[in-house]
Amino acid sequence: MQIAIDGPAGAGKSSVAREVARRLGLKYLDTGAMYRSITYKALQEGIDFSNGALLAEIARRCNIEICYDEAAGNRIFVDGKDITAEIRSPEINKHVSVVSKSPELRSELVFLQKKVADKSRGIVMEGRDIGTNVLKDADFKFFIYASLEERSRRRWKEMQEKGTILSFDEVMKEIAMRDRLDQEREFSPLTVAPGAKVIDTTPYSLDEVVEKILNHIQEHKKFSRDIPSKNATDEV
């Protein structure tokens, strides 16, 4: 089973996709972490963010590993170094949408993402162009979003809990800019994939959104396997 989950920054894609994958016993891939990892490497090496050829070269030569830990959640490693905290910094947030505009880089990472999916017995993949570009033939496609104010509130709260101090207005301005860059980029812009189920997560909790997705899959599934209950403990 392949499940594609797309949506803008702060919509809750990572949390939702991770829990859906856990409940279904499928692999989970956060493609945004891959773009953030390349942004981190580009900053470390002083590479011009507009140089798509060099960004693609980084993707070809560095080793990105995304591992899931029950206690700590997703851990992101680049060339053996744990950069989980670093790629969520304001500096990365500021530049990641510019980096991800590169057609050369996106081609490299989409190739890797498809390779991961092909090797998996089943996967939940989330990002900006999964249903439209990476997993065009996914069994299920979802597009989740929330109001700009709600997404900004969630991101601001998350950053406060991690000790990153930014004003709510600064966070909202940053997310609005990322929305514009994601929607207006020429190559694989953020858009709703054909056939995707659209879910406005603004009024719902994480559990409620996960239940909506699982109920939709249950109602339309092409597979004989039952969907695990809410209390399932399958490991990814």
Give the model's pLDDT for residue 150: 96
This prediction has a pTM of: 0.87
Using the structure block, give the residue that is written with the tokens 């490693």: 77
Give the model's pLDDT for residue 74: 73
Distance CA 44, CA 8 (A): 26
Give the model's pLDDT for residue 197: 97
Strand pairing report for 140-145 and 123-127: unpaired
Could you report how far apart the first and last alpha carbons of the chain are, in Å? 14
Which residues in 207-227 are b (16+ Cβ under 10 Å) and which e? eebbbbbbeebeeeeeeeeeb
Give the model's pLDDT for residue 230: 46
Distance CA 80, CA 85 (A): 14
Distance CA 60, CA 81 (A): 17
Condensed to tens digits (0 to 9), the pLDDT of residues 126-161 reads 999 999 999 999 999 999 999 999 999 999 998 888
Q: Give the chain's domains with CATH numbers.
A: 2-219 (3.40.50.300)
What does pLDDT average to over the chain?
89
Using the structure block, give the residue that is written with the tokens 């000790």: 163
Distance CA 73, CA 84 (A): 10
Give the model's pLDDT for residue 164: 80
Which residues in 83-114 are b (16+ Cβ under 10 Å) and which e? bbebbbbeebbebbbbbbbbebbbebbbebbe
Residues of the chain with pLDDT under 50: 223-225, 227, 229-236
